[in-house]
Amino acid sequence: MAALLVANSGSARTLPRALTSDQANRLAITRFRNYQAGGRAVTITVPGTAGRLIITGSIDYRGKLGYGAVHGTGRDTSSNGLIEWTATTVFVHPMADAPGDAPASPPGSGWYGRPLRTSGSSLDSSLAIALSLGSDRPDNAELLPQNGAVWVGQGRSNGHQVDVMTGPSARATSGTAGSVRYWIGSDGTMYRVRIGVASESQPVVIDFDTQKYVPVRPVPGVTPTR
């Protein structure tokens, strides 16, 4: 099946092809780049039959902690508010009039905690995927092509020239190498990730550097579980 090649002017169709050595090396270090940066500003678009959820915030890839404001599109405001999450736990702070950007210091009360669901929830899958996009070591560039990684196009993301590649699978899900796409800059920086989740027909989209990174602070009284 042909993949769309996004160019600066217009578009054309091209077949996926094997990664070059340079592309494999950039894909191998892209999650490590997030860890090296310490944290990244993100916008996570979560699909849903009742409408999308948009999470605007930051992820601390060394502390393994995410935090942001949640807004629904095409749905009511019952899911709006603030959210903070680890690999095992989600904390929500409902707010009908949620701010566009989460306050730098999380509110001192009004939080509700629950375990992060490992299946059946597009929101929790999206949170786990976003948190998994940082690693304290590079992947093995030589093994990536064996795991289904290929080059599918070029384009621009948030003003940056990028290569679009598939794989490796996000560690929060399994068997997804062909449905994971990374938008990666010339130095290995990750600018966008799109990944399918089993519970939805539309993909999760994670965009980086969509606003200024704000260091993530834990919910008062809660010690993050790493």
Per-residue pLDDT at 15 exceeds 80: no
For position 78, what pLDDT does the model report? Answer: 79
Res. 225 pLDDT band, cuts 50 70 90 = low
Per-residue pLDDT at 141 exceeds 80: yes
Res. 1 pLDDT band, cuts 50 70 90 = very low
- Two tokens at 136? 């304290």
For position 176, what pLDDT does the model report? Answer: 45
Q: Quick count: other Cβ atoms within 10 Å of Cβ 82?
A: 24
Are the C-beta atoms of residues 225 and 86 closer than 8 Å to each other?
Answer: yes
203: left (phi over 0), alpha (psi -120 to 50) or beta: beta
Res. 6 pLDDT band, cuts 50 70 90 = very low
Q: pLDDT by residue (tens digit) across 97-128?
A: 888 999 999 999 999 999 999 888 889 999 99
Per-residue pLDDT at 2 exceeds 70: no
Res. 96 pLDDT band, cuts 50 70 90 = confident
For position 220, what pLDDT does the model report? Answer: 86
Res. 8 pLDDT band, cuts 50 70 90 = very low
For position 12, what pLDDT does the model report? Answer: 45
Q: pLDDT by residue (tens digit) across 162-221?
A: 999 998 655 445 444 447 899 999 999 999 999 988 777 789 999 999 999 999 999 987
- End-to-end Cα spacing for the chain: 40
Rounded to two decimals, the pTM is: 0.87
Phi, psi torsion values for 146, nearest 5 degrees: -70, -25
Q: What are the angstrom distances between the C-alpha of 37 and each of 63, 175, 189?
A: 12, 28, 10
58 or 6: which leads in pLDDT? 58
DSSP conformation class of 213 = -
